[in-house]
Amino acid sequence: MSVPALRVSGIAKTFGGARALKGISFEVAAGEVHGLLGQNGCGKSTFVKVLAGFHAPDPGGTIEVFGKPLPFPMPPGAFRDYRMAFVHQHLGLVPTLTVLENLRVASITARRARVNWREERAAARATFARFGVSLDLNARTGSLSQTDQALLAIMRAAEDLRGADGPGLLILDEPTPFLPKEGVDRLFALVRQVVGHGDSVIFISHDIDEVREITDRATILRDGLVSGTLTTKGSSHDDFVEGIIGRRIARSVTAPAVTRGRTLARVTGVAEPGLDIPALEVAEGEILGLTGLLGSGYERVPYLMFGAREATVGDLHMGGKTTPLRSMTPKAAIAQKMALLPSDRPGASGVPGLKVRDNMLLLELDDFMGRFGLNLRAMGRRASALSAEYEVRPANPDMRLGQLSGGNAQKVLLAKWMIRNPDLLLLDEPTQGVDVGTRQQIYRVIRDAAARGAGVICASSDAEQLADLCTRVLIFSRGRIAVELTGQDITKDSIAEACYGHSTLDVA
Ligand SMILES: Nc1ncnc2c1ncn2[C@@H]1O[C@H](COP(=O)(O)OP(=O)(O)OP(=O)(O)O)[C@@H](O)[C@H]1O
Ligand SMILES: [Mg+2]
C-alpha cells in the first residue's frame, strides 16, 4: 500500500485548562477526499491549525504527512515544505485586495524580488484556465459573490500545492456554509479536479449530504476524541448523525398547519434593481421562510426591513405605524422590537475581539449602568446564566467571541437577540456552520418565540431547514415572489422544485 497522505497519532491540544483535543488518531489515504466532522467546538479547526503550525500540540503525539514527521513547534510557513495547503474557516482572503493580489500573495511574498505584475497576471490567467474559472483580476475581492470568493480561496490553495514536487494535501475548513447549491456544485467540481491531479483533500463540513456526496471516507470527532471513521459508500445519513451526536435523532416532522394569527408586520411597494415586492406580510406566531436561487433577491428582505440595507421606495407597516423603508435604521428597528440575526459572515454579526459577555449584553448596557459605571460583575453573572441556557461551550463569558468555535459564536448572538423578546425576529441562514444537535436547539428557540406570538422571517438556502421549521414559505425568482407553499405542501422536494422550476437564469 502507498504511504498515506496523513497519519495522525495521539494528537492532543490544551488551551489553558480546557482540552480541545484529547488524543486523536486517524489516517487519510493518498488520493482520497476525507471528511472531518463533529459538533461545534469538537476541535476540527484546532486540528487544522495544528497541521498548519499555528498551534503546537501537547507533547506526545505525532503527525506524518506523506511519511514525513512534522516538527513541533513548526516554523511559520513550513507546512508548504510538507506539501500542504489550507483554506481556513472564513476563507482567509483579504477583502480589500484585488483578486490578482489575493491569488498571488503567497508566491509574491515568497520571492521577495520586485513584483512583475505582467507575469503575475499571466500566472493568474493560467490558473483560471486550468480550473475553468474566470474572475475579474482587478475586482476587489470583497465585492465578489460568496461562491467566487470560495472558488478563489480554493484555487489559491490548489496552486500552492502545484509548486510542490509530488502529490499534496489540501485542507478545506468549512468552505461551503455560505454557498448556494450551485456554488457547492462548482466547488465540488474543483475538488474533483484537485483529486484528479493525484492530491488528497480533507473536507470539513456540517452538511452531511455534502459530505456523503464528495468524500470517500470520513472521520468523526466527538468530545475531543475520534468516534469513528466511516466509509462513505454504504453509510447512511443516520450513521453520520449517530457518529456526530452519539445517538439517532427522530427526524422532526413538519410543524402542523396553524391557523394564521393577526398580521404583525407588512412591507409594501418594495422596488429596487432586482427586487420587486408589491406586498409581503408575516402574522403573529408565523414562521415564514424566504428562499430561491442565488441572486433571486429573497436574502435582502430581512436587511431591508431592519434598516440594515439602503432602500429607496417601500414602506414597513407594524404596530399601527407606517415607516418608509428608506428612513428605517437598525436603531429604529430595535425600538420597534425587531431583531436581526445576520448570517455568520465574518464580522457581520458580532465583535470577535470583545468578550462573550459584552457581545451578549451589548444591547442591554443601560440595564447594567449603575452610579459607578457598568456593573461588570452583574453582567458576568447574567452572561454565565445565558451561556448555560443557550448551551454555549465553553460556558466562559470572559472568552473573546473570536476564541469560540463558529457554531458556539452563533449561539451567543442568538442569545443576544432573544433576551430582548423581539416581536419580529428576522433571520438570515440561522444555522449556517451549526452542527445537527445545535441546529435542533436553535429551532427550539425559534419555535418558542413563535409560540409566544412573535413573527419570524427566515431567509435560507437550506430547503430541509425550511421544511422543518416554517409554516409558510415564499420562493423568489428574479426578484419576485413566484410560489407560495403552506402547511403540508412544504417539503424539501417541493421547495427545490419550485426554486429550480421557476428560473435557471438567476445564476449570475
Ligand atoms: N485560541 C483559543 N483559545 C482558547 N480556546 C480555544 C482557542 N481556539 C479554540 N478554542 C476552543 O477549543 C475548542 C475547539 O474549537 P474549534 O474551533 O477547534 O471547534 P470546531 O470543531 O472547529 O467547531 P465549529 O464547527 O463550530 O467550527 C472550543 O471549545 C474552543 O472554544
Ligand atoms: Mg471550526
Which amino acid, one-letter code, is at 475? I
CA 417 to ligand 1 centroid distance, Å = 23
Tally of helices (H runs) and strands (E runs) in the chain: 15, 22
Closest C-alpha to ligand 1, atom 9: 403
Q: How many whole angstroms from its chain centre is CA 422?
A: 24
| Predicted pLDDT of residue 447 | 94
Please determine, looking at this structure, whether the domain spanning 6-245 carries the CATH number 3.40.50.300: yes
Tell me, in angstroms, the distance from the centre of ligand 2 to residue 43's CA: 7
pLDDT at residue number 501: 60
pLDDT of residue 346: 53
Query: Which whole-number Å values give the CA distances from 491 to 459, 470, 488, in the listed order?
Result: 16, 10, 7
Q: Alpha-carbon distance 160 to 86, whole Å?
A: 9
* Rounded Cα–Cα distance for residues 275 and 294 (Å): 13
Å from CA of 90 to ligand 2 middle: 9
Given a contact cutoff of 8 angstroms between Cβ atoms, the answer to whether 306 and 333 are in contact is: yes
From 49, 222, 405, 442, give the residue whose CB has the most ligand 1 atoms within 8 Å, as the site to mutate. Answer: 405
Longest dimension (CA), the chain: 73
| 434 alpha carbon, closest ligand | 1
Residue spans of alpha helices (H) in 113-145: 117-131
Q: How far is the CA of 314 from the centre of ligand 2 (A)?
A: 40
**Shortest-distance atom of ligand 1 to CA 55:** 1
Tell how far the Cα of 368 is from the centroid of ligand 2, in angstroms: 33
Residue 4: which region, alpha, beta or left (left: phi > 0; alpha: psi -120 to 50)?
beta
Alpha carbon distance 124, 103 (integer Å): 7
Q: Supply angle C-alpha 432, 436, 440, rounded to 5.
A: 90
Judged by DSSP in three states, 285 sits in: coil
Give the ligand at the shortest distance from the Cα of 38: 1
pLDDT of residue 110: 64
CB 363 within 8 A of CB 334: yes
- Closest to 83 in 3D by CA, of 11, 175, 3: 3
Contacts of 247 (CB under 8 A, 6+ apart): none
Q: What string of DSSP letters covers 206-253?
A: S-HHHHHHH-SEEEEEETTEEEEEEESTT--HHHHHHHHHSS--PPPP
Distance 408 CA to ligand 2 centre (A): 10
How far is it, in rounded angstroms, from Cα 333 to Cα 337?
7
Ligand 1 is surrounded, with C-beta below 6 A, by 15, 20, 38, 40-46, 89, 393-394, 403-408
> Which is nearest to 305 in space by CA: 427, 209, 388?
427
Instruction: Look at residue 97 in the predicted model and tell me its pLDDT.
Output: 87
Rounded Cα distance, 295 and 275, in Å: 10
**Whether the Cβ atoms of residue 290 and residue 303 lie closer than 8 Å to each other:** no
Q: Which of 45, 90, 204, when mutated, tests ligand 1's pocket best, judged by the most ligand atoms within 8 Å of its CB?
A: 45
Report which bound ligand comes closest to the CA of 223: 1
The top-level CATH class assigned to 250-337+422-508 is alpha beta
* Residues 478 and 506: beta-carbon distance below 8 Å: yes
In this structure, the residue with its CA closest to atom 31 of ligand 1 is: 404
Domain locations in the chain as residue ranges: 6-245, 250-337+422-508, 348-420
The residue type at 137:
L
Single out the residue of 262, 251, 197 nearest to residue 423, CA to CA: 262
Residue 395 CB: number of other CB atoms within 10 A? 17
**What is the Å distance from ligand 1's center to 185 Cα?**
28
Shortest-distance Cα residue to atom 7 of ligand 1: 403
Residue 157 CA, ligand 1 centroid: distance in Å = 23
Proximal ligand: closest to the CA of 407: 1
Position 350 scores a pLDDT of 81
Ligand 2 centroid from CA 300, angstroms: 27
Q: Which atom of ligand 1 is nearest to the CA of 43?
A: 18
Instruction: Determine the distance separating the centroid of ligand 1 and the alpha carbon of 356, expressed in angstroms.
Output: 14
Residue 406 CA: which ligand 1 atom is closest? 26
Q: 0.85 exceeded by the pTM? A: no
Nearest ligand, CA 20: 1
Judge if 6-245 and 250-337+422-508 fold alike in CATH terms.
yes
Atom 30, ligand 1: which residue's CA is nearest? 404
Q: What is the pLDDT along the chain (508 residues), one digit of tens a residue?
A: 589 999 999 999 999 878 999 999 999 999 999 999 988 888 999 999 999 999 999 999 999 999 999 999 999 889 989 999 999 877 778 888 889 888 887 666 666 667 788 888 998 898 888 888 889 999 998 888 888 898 899 888 888 887 767 899 999 998 877 677 778 888 899 999 999 989 999 999 988 889 999 999 999 998 899 999 999 999 998 899 888 877 666 554 444 445 678 999 999 999 988 899 999 999 999 999 999 877 789 999 999 999 999 898 999 999 999 999 999 999 999 999 999 998 765 556 688 889 999 999 988 888 898 888 889 999 999 999 999 999 898 899 999 998 888 888 888 999 999 998 999 999 998 988 788 888 888 999 999 999 999 999 999 988 888 999 999 999 998 889 999 999 889 988 888 778 766 544 333 3
Which atom number of ligand 1 is nearest to the Cα of residue 38?
A: 21
Best of 403, 436, 438 for a ligand 1 pocket test (most atoms within 8 Å of beta carbon): 403
Q: What pLDDT was estimated at residue 84?
A: 95
How far is 245 from 264, CA to CA, in rounded Å? 37
Indicate which ligand has the atom closest to the C-alpha of 220: 1
Residue of 14, 15, 19, 226 best suited for mutating to test ligand 1, as the one with most atoms within 8 Å of CB:
15
Atom of ligand 1 nearest to the CA of 435: 25
- Using DSSP bridges, classify how beta strands 169-173 and 6-15 pair: parallel, antiparallel or unpaired: unpaired
405 CA distance to ligand 2 middle (Å): 5
Which is the closest atom of ligand 1 to the Cα of 404?
31
Q: Which ligand 1 atom sits closest to the C-alpha of 399?
A: 4
Distance from Cα 161 to the centre of ligand 1, integer Å? 27
Nearest to 219 by CA among 240, 194, 188, 190: 240
